[in-house]
Amino acid sequence: MPNPTAAILIIGDEILTGRTREGNAYFLAGELAKAGIDLKQIRVIGDDHATIVAAVRELSAAHDQLFTSGGIGPTHDDITADAVADAFGRMIDVREDAREILARHYAARGVEFTESRLRMARIPEGARLIDNPVSGAPGFSVENCHVMAGVPNIFQAMVAGLLPHLAGGAPLQSRNWQLMVAEAAIAEELRALAVAHPGVSLGSYPFVTDGQYGTNLVARSTDPVALEAAFAALKTHFPEGQ
């Protein structure tokens, strides 16, 4: 059975203007590979209601899971929750269980529970909450769409709570073989190896270090036996690697 598929949707003008270097997709990509969920697309869009609604509809329909990051805070530019509700045709309002979580969190810390903070208890109807052990305000899942915070440590904590509940597949494993030769010098042999090992993806990634050309060869597969066979062939064909 093929592994389940996924997409990641990053929401935030600060990425598109070059102010912030995105890191949540990089983190989640690694976690999904370990969980055996095939990431097919990462998309970054701005804080625009219609754009978010359209992207959520398209990506959730085309993949088994959709993960979003960003736009669920207390300020006027946090519009993700309302857009996701719209995308799935659900009502959205302050929900009592989310309000209680926030009330407890703020009471324990002597922080005032303001009108702005109450905004973070707005949850689409029928959604399941995602625990936020860092700052209280929960994420949520609507159907196959998992809505999480953009702040990296909160995002990572939410992923840790969410992923074990999702159906995974065979983890993608990889083996790395580094050669200090230019990519083009081994392209023909590598192509032949790729043909001979159809169950394994063979990627080649050139680099330059101290003016020397090198190539990282990466074999990837969800089938450990096929992976080791391909890796053994790599080592045999390119014994100068490491």
Does position 29 bind a copy of itself by CB under 8 A?
Answer: yes
Q: What DSSP letter does each residue of 66-115 carry, written as one string?
A: EEEES--SSSTT--HHHHHHHHTT--EEE-HHHHHHHHHHHHHHT----H
Among 187, 95, 90, CA closest to 137: 95
Q: For residue 56, what are the contacts with CB-CB under 8 A and spacing of at least 6?
A: 9, 66, 68, 83, 84, 87, 88, 145
CB of 211 to a copy of itself, least distance (A): 11
Q: In the set 11, 85, 202, 227, which binds a copy of itself (CB under 8 A)?
A: 202
Q: How many residues bind a copy of itself (CB under 8 A)?
A: 65
- In the bound state with a copy of itself, the residue whose beta carbon lies nearer, of 32 and 66, is 32
Q: How big is the CA angle at 212 (ends 206 and 216), to the nearest 5 degrees?
A: 30
Q: In the set 62, 167, 187, 196, which binds a copy of itself (CB under 8 A)?
A: 187
Q: Candidates 17-25, 83-91, 124-132, 224-232 — which segment interacts with a copy of itself by CB under 8 A?
A: 17-25
CB of 11 to a copy of itself, least distance (A): 11
- In the bound state with a copy of itself, the residue whose beta carbon lies nearer, of 77 and 223, is 77
Contact indicator for 120, 74 with CB cutoff of 8 Å:
yes
Residues 111-150 touching a copy of itself, rule: CB under 8 A, are 111, 114-117, 119-120
**Residue whose entry in the numeric block shows the structure tokens 């598929």:** 5
**Residue whose entry in the numeric block shows the structure tokens 């159809």:** 198
Burial class (CB in 10 A: 0-12, 13-18, 19+), 242: exposed
CB of 235 to a copy of itself, least distance (A): 18
Residue 210: CA count within 13 A, CB half-sphere: 1
- In the bound state with a copy of itself, the residue whose beta carbon lies nearer, of 131 and 183, is 183
CA distance 64 to 54: 17
CA distance 139 to 123: 9
Q: How big is the CA angle at 158 (ends 35 and 124), to the nearest 5 degrees?
A: 110
CB of 213 to a copy of itself, least distance (A): 9
- In the bound state with a copy of itself, the residue whose beta carbon lies nearer, of 89 and 188, is 188
Q: Candidates 31-39, 84-92, 157-165, 234-242 — which segment interacts with a copy of itself by CB under 8 A?
A: 31-39
- In the bound state with a copy of itself, the residue whose beta carbon lies nearer, of 126 and 160, is 160
Q: Which residues bind a copy of itself (CB under 8 A)?
A: 13-23, 25-33, 39-47, 51, 73-77, 111, 114-117, 119-120, 151, 153, 172, 174, 182-185, 187-188, 190-191, 194, 201-208, 218, 220
